[in-house]
Amino acid sequence: MTEKFTREYARSLDAKDELRKYRDEFYLNNDGVYMDGNSLGLMSKRAEQSAFDLLNSWKKYGIDGWTEGEHPWYFLSESLGEKMSELVGAKKDEVIVTGSTTVNLHHLVSTFYQPEGKRTKILADSLTFPTDIYALKAQLKLKGYDDSHLVQVQSEDGQFLKEEDIIEAMTDEIALIVLPSVLYRSGQILDMKRLTEAAHERNIKIGFDLCHSVGSIPHELHEWDVDFAFWCTYKHLNGGPGSVAALYLNEKFFGVSPGLAGWFSSDKEKQFDMDHTLTPAQTAGAFQIGTPHVLSVAPLIGALELFHEAGIENVRKKSLQLTDYMMELIEHELKDDGIVICNPKNHEQRGGHVYVEHPEAARICKALKMQKVIPDFRTPSGIRLAPVALYNSFEDVYDCVQILKTIMEEKRYNQFENERNIVS
């Protein structure tokens, strides 16, 4: 029906949107369309307020802010971990807000990569985000192994991975597995439950990078018996640039000595004993290292409130509706312009963004930005568009595709060089 491809139809979808009230919680550029929430989420008013609140606690209490005020700093990582646990299907003590994605990966691998006998290799994949591979290679080197001990499952088409291929690679040479939950480029969701079961059947520990899934799709990490996971908080969680990351540790590993121990690994009751023998916390809190970055974690207090109210299941439901609608529009409006949808179409395998390819992708992204549409370019020919459930509307999706259609029909991208900017 042609009416589906009109602005009026988009507005009718917005009128029925149960999450539409949360749009007013965010700072939006009303003259533009933001479609890059899978790289950096927008600032919410509550995140801004909680940042001010933590600044004020420093101003008001000085050093007593560690134990005084509404959000005592000493317990902040644990309290935020508890709030975040519901987003990943974990018990409250299994999540801690700490570090950065890559630091947390180093910490977890340094703990769980224990090569022995013929089990000396780490299993990863060829499509994961580069930082994970850098960290894994560095950890191999620290243990005296070279890159040949990193096994990367290959993709047949450069877009997707087959779980069967991953499972086949789980040989008796594998000591540890680290995989993404969602592929950062194509948006494919891996079956974490199936892969965890397969790894454990072979006595291999397995962990997941949730950077492109947390805050976008539901998880059941504890139920699936995942050993560990780690993620950033500045994408779908809207914690702000460089906001403090988080990790999950299955409770069966509580009491395990952390591979990269530090002062804040301590049992909270013993930390100020100043003993030179560490007594690690009997929770995921043992995987902290140094003093928490209080001012960088502050926006998460407000940001997580929105997810608690909206509910991750409702966020997922709208996210799928938005991306379904975007793909319908692209297929209808841009079928003759060489734009190819390269993300999974089915709901079970699709994450929170739409991924398209075109030979002139870098130019097209620059043309979109000139029209105040903010996309995300991925070399060599990819464009990611992420309509975020908490703040994007169906009319945003409509406008995005209509502007893209005009750019393609009029070849407005020709005025730009087909190469990425420094940050893309």
Q: Which positions of the chain have pLDDT values less than 70?
A: 1, 424
Phi and psi at 20, nearest 5°, equal -60, -25
Q: What is the pLDDT of residue 381?
A: 95
| pLDDT score recorded for residue 1 | 55
Which of 309, 339, 358 is the C-terminal boundary of a domain? Answer: 309
Does residue 36 belong to any structural domain of this protein? Answer: no
Residue 8 sits in a domain whose CATH number is: 3.90.1150.10
Q: Is 24 labelled a binding residue? A: no
Q: Is 102 annotated as a binding residue?
A: yes
Q: What is the CATH number of the domain that holds 206?
A: 3.40.640.10
Same domain, 248 and 389: no
Q: Which two tokens stand for residue 34?
A: 């933001």
Amino acid code (one letter) for 56: N
Residue 13 has what pLDDT?
98
Q: Residue 44: inside a domain, yes or no?
A: no
Confirm or deny that 263 is annotated as ligand binding.
yes
Indicate if 191 and 278 belong to the same structural domain: yes
Domain identity same for 395 and 268: no
Clarify whether residues 182 and 121 are in a common domain: yes
| pLDDT at res. 424 | 64
**Helix/strand/coil (H, E, C) string of 43-63?**
CEHHHHHHHHHHHHHHHHHHH
Do 279 and 326 share a domain, yes or no? no
Q: How many independent structural domains does the chain possess?
A: 2
| Peptide bond preceding 292 in cis form (omega within 30 of 0) | no
257 Rama sector, left if φ>0, alpha if ψ -120 to 50, beta otherwise: beta
125 and 161 in a single domain? The answer is yes
Is 212 annotated in some ligand binding site? yes
Domain assignment present for residue 266? The answer is: yes
Q: Does the residue 346 lie in any domain? A: yes
Range of the domain at 345: 2-31+311-407
298 and 331 part of one domain: no
What integer pLDDT is reported at residue 417 of this predicted model?
86
For residue 209, say whether it is annotated as part of any ligand binding site. Answer: yes
Residue 277 marked in a binding site: no
131 is in an annotated binding site: yes
pTM exceeding the 0.85 threshold for the entire prediction? yes
Q: Is residue 225 part of a domain?
A: yes
287 and 217 in a common domain: yes
- Please tell me whether residues 343 and 383 are part of one structural domain: yes
